[in-house]
Amino acid sequence: MRFAFILILHVVLNTLASNTTWYAGFLDKRPFTVHTTRFLCTGQPDYIIVELCKLKLRRNKPSSLSFRGTFVKPFEPIFGSMKIWYKGNVNVWLPLLGIDEWGDICAFLSSKPEQLTMMQQLYRRYLKDILPNYDFRCPIQGTMEFLDFSFEDYMFPPFLPAGSYRNDILFFTEHNLSVFKFQFYGTVRAKGLADLSMG
């Protein structure tokens, strides 16, 4: 038992002392590649005007996403939901591991990292990567934009199985009126000979 503890401690210390980079507690190297294949965004004109919603596919590189939307009036309170789906063997979208988060966006953005779940911490990190210059204080107002943003492999957990995925992000009012919605479609392809598929 003592030998196993010393061995694990040695491996962990050597890994931490190496020159590898980390993202969300995981090494940057992934056994897969991520490709965004489709990007949809819709907005309720009473709240937001969507000026740009574009996906640029690039050969042998990650796709780039561009979005620009202007809030017509200050928006508070704002609620959001996020669901992740994968495509099963019969071309039906199924929920991925029950990942279905929703809540008050203002509380989500203003809370400390230790008050958030692991998935919420990842979502907030993605938001800061996508919109590094946006002021996330409530009420939400002004122009929100990201130009030529790409989802890189290191942004995803290392245990993501190969397959097709869909990510739905919805923002809505306290009266359950949809304000705007993003849908990201993508594929995960395993590198090498390993079969990491869901099916």
Q: pLDDT digit string (tens) for 186-196?
A: 998 887 655 55
Q: Determine phi and psi for 127, rounding to 5 degrees.
A: -60, -45
Peptide bond into 77 cis (omega under 30): yes
Among the residue ranges 45-49, 136-140, 168-172, the one predicted with the least confidence is 136-140
- CATH number of the domain enclosing 56: 2.70.220.10
Domain-located, residue 29: no
Give CB contacts under 8 A, 24+ apart, made by 47-51.
47/71, 47/72, 47/73, 47/75, 47/173, 47/179, 47/180, 48/72, 48/75, 48/179, 48/180, 50/180
> Is residue 88 within 8 Å of residue 166, measured between CB atoms?
no
> For residues 138 and 143, what is the distance between their CA atoms, to the nearest angstrom?
14
Domain-located, residue 36: no
Domain-located, residue 72: yes
Q: Determine phi and psi for 132, rounding to 5 degrees.
A: -65, -25
> Model's pTM, two decimal places?
0.73
pLDDT interval class at 14 (50, 70, 90): very low
- The pLDDT tens digits of the residues spanning 105-151 come to 888 888 888 888 877 887 788 777 777 777 777 888 888 888 998 88
Domain-located, residue 10: no
> Is residue 56 within 8 Å of residue 64, measured between CB atoms?
yes
Q: Is 37 in a helix, a strand, or coil?
A: strand
Domain-located, residue 47: yes
Which of the pair, 107 or 52, is modelled with greater confidence? 52
DSSP string, 9-21: HHHHHHHHHSS--
**CA nearest to 170, candidates 56, 55, 40:** 40
Domain-located, residue 126: yes
Domain-located, residue 9: no
Domain that holds residue 79: 41-190
Query: If you search the block for the tokens 């779940």, which residue do you land on?
Result: 117
Q: Determine phi and psi for 100, rounding to 5 degrees.
A: -150, 90
Res 146: pLDDT: 87
125 burial level (CB within 10 Å; 0-12, 13-18, 19+): middle
Q: Is the pLDDT of residue 56 over 90?
A: yes
Domain-located, residue 71: yes
Q: How many domains does the chain have?
A: 1
